[in-house]
Amino acid sequence: MQRPEKELIKLLKEEGVDFACSLPCEKIRTLLDIVSGTFFHVPLTREEEGVGICAGAALSSRRPAMFVQSSGVGNMINALLSLTGFYRFPLTLFVSRRGVYREKIAAQFPMGLRLPSILRGAGIPYSVIDSRNDFEGMKKKLAGVYKNDTMHAFLMSPALWEEVACGTEDTEYRERDERYGFHVPPNPPLVRRELKWSRVSPPRLTRYEILDAVAPYLDSKVVVCNLGFPSKELFSIKHQSSTFYMLGSMGMVTPIGLGIALTSDKQVVVIDGDGSLLMNPGTLATVAYFAPENLTILAIDNSSYGSTGNQPTLTGSCVDLELVAKGFGIKETLKVSTSRQISGVMKSPHKGLRFIHILALPGNKDVPNISIDHLEIKRQVRDFVRSGNICTGMI
């Protein structure tokens, strides 16, 4: 009899799943080993970033799935509702349900036992998978996720895997799948780098003035813009159909951009901010791990939470975002603060991942709200990403 892990993988392949994100769980380590060798696989630093990465992949016509344990659902519930659900991105969640079957770790009980109630309260459809017999009803639900742009969680009991020994016996899955044109080494070497504080002029421009300086260089590129005032300001300066305006889900800007960059040949520019990056800094490690050549991150740092009243962030006192990016392994970083520096960086021919730390003055421009419906925003960006108009420009 075919082992349940292979049976599940076969089912996913039949439904066209071709992109996977995961965090480890001891109960499904064999399944995760097979997943990483079968699909384009992104190892996460936190479940929440996976929601953003999968959203970006969905904009590129991928059919994403996430593999997490029950406690991880608690780490991503807001992103599931304000990003995946709000914009109607397709996403399948395979959840290793802890705390319900022969559980030895007491801390797993609270989330594991309450998970169905949490999902019901959030309006997220789910199915309980206790044995391989439950796979029969999975196919139709999987098809519905990708046909109707919805999400569904499959809560998998550890009892499902008991009939096989832990650890995969097959070597066919241990080599990374290169069909998507991207090979990920299983154990990338650690490289020690000397970190130095960058010398740059103090901030001279507001975020609005910075966006105005950047705007001429965004043509023909996919742009993912931070939520709140940054998106409204950019919309008022330069609207283009290839811009994904964030309307919620703080901290998801860079993950979405990464998801697009990994699954598309378009040039991708992320416009992130200090508050957003501090909320989800681990995603910079994931960015560094893959280092997509078509991704540029503009970190506009005004040392404040601009959309909530300009309360100070820690970048004004003890955090240097350029050093954070370097520490996570991003090789090419820059710090700029003037219009001339910004223009010079943006117009210079370049290929490769870059993190550009732009120092800014706090303050917001009084601009109208974005007049485009959120689903229209998604449709326009999706159509641009999926178009055959390949972007060959480099920044």
Per-residue pLDDT for 175 more than 70? Answer: no
Length of the chain: 395
Number of domains in the chain: 2
Q: Is residue 381 part of a domain?
A: yes
Give the span between the Cα atoms of 153 and 94, in whole angstroms.
Answer: 6
The answer to whether residues 215 and 157 belong to one domain is: no
CA angle (98 as vertex; 68, 89 as ends), nearest 5: 30
Q: Is residue 190 part of a domain?
A: no
Picking from 105, 136, 161, the residue at the C-terminal end of a domain is 161
Bin 359: left if φ > 0, else alpha if -120 < ψ < 50, else beta.
beta
Q: What is the pLDDT of residue 239?
A: 96
Among 185-194, 284-293, 371-380, the range scoring the smallest mean pLDDT is 185-194
The answer to whether residues 147 and 211 belong to one domain is: no
Q: Is residue 185 part of a domain?
A: no
- What's 368's DSSP letter? P
Q: What is the pLDDT of residue 388?
A: 60
**Tokens 């059919």 sit at which residue?**
63
The answer to whether residues 146 and 292 belong to one domain is: no
For the chain, give the percent of residues with pLDDT over 70: 88
CA–chain centroid gap for 270, Å, is: 12
Q: Is residue 191 part of a domain?
A: no
**Coil, strand, or helix at residue 363?**
coil
- What's 265's DSSP letter? S
Give the span between the Cα atoms of 270 and 253, in whole angstroms.
Answer: 7
pTM of the model: 0.89
- Residues 65 and 16 sit within 8 Å (Cβ to Cβ): no
**Coil, strand, or helix at residue 95?**
strand
Give the span between the Cα atoms of 203 and 200, in whole angstroms.
Answer: 9
CA–chain centroid gap for 150, Å, is: 17
Q: 249-267: per-residue pLDDT in tens?
A: 999 999 999 999 999 999 9
Among 64-78, 105-119, 192-206, 226-240, the range scoring the smallest mean pLDDT is 192-206
Please name the residues in contact with 132: beta carbons below 8 A apart, sequence gap of 6 or more.
4, 7, 160
The answer to whether residues 145 and 215 belong to one domain is: no
Q: Containing domain of residue 213, as a range? A: 207-385
The answer to whether residues 134 and 51 belong to one domain is: yes
For the chain, give the percent of residues with pLDDT over 90: 80
**Coil, strand, or helix at residue 257?**
helix
Give the span between the Cα atoms of 256 and 117, in whole angstroms.
Answer: 28
What are the DSSP calls for 160-223, one per residue? GGTTS-SS---STTSSPP-TTS----SSPPP------PPP-PPP-SBHHHHHHHHGGG-TTSEE
Which residues in 185-214 are b (16+ Cβ under 10 Å) and which e?
eeeeeeeeeeeeeeebeebebbbbbbbbbb
The answer to whether residues 264 and 157 belong to one domain is: no
E strands within 73-147?
Answer: 91-96, 126-129
Among 30-39, 161-170, 313-322, the range scoring the smallest mean pLDDT is 161-170
Q: What is the pLDDT of residue 349?
A: 81
The answer to whether residues 148 and 218 belong to one domain is: no
- β-bridge pairing 295-301 and 243-245: unpaired
Can you give the C-alpha Rg of the chain in angstroms? 21
Tokens for 133? 């017999």
The answer to whether residues 59 and 135 belong to one domain is: yes
Tokens for 21? 């994100």
Q: 120-151: per-residue pLDDT in tens?
A: 999 999 999 999 999 988 999 999 999 999 99
Q: What is the pLDDT of residue 164?
A: 52
The answer to whether residues 106 and 21 belong to one domain is: yes
CATH number at residue 79: 3.40.50.970
Q: Is residue 301 part of a domain?
A: yes
Q: What is the pLDDT of residue 114?
A: 94
Helices 253-263/47-59 angle, 10° precision: 50
The answer to whether residues 105 and 35 belong to one domain is: yes
- Residues 41 and 184 sit within 8 Å (Cβ to Cβ): yes
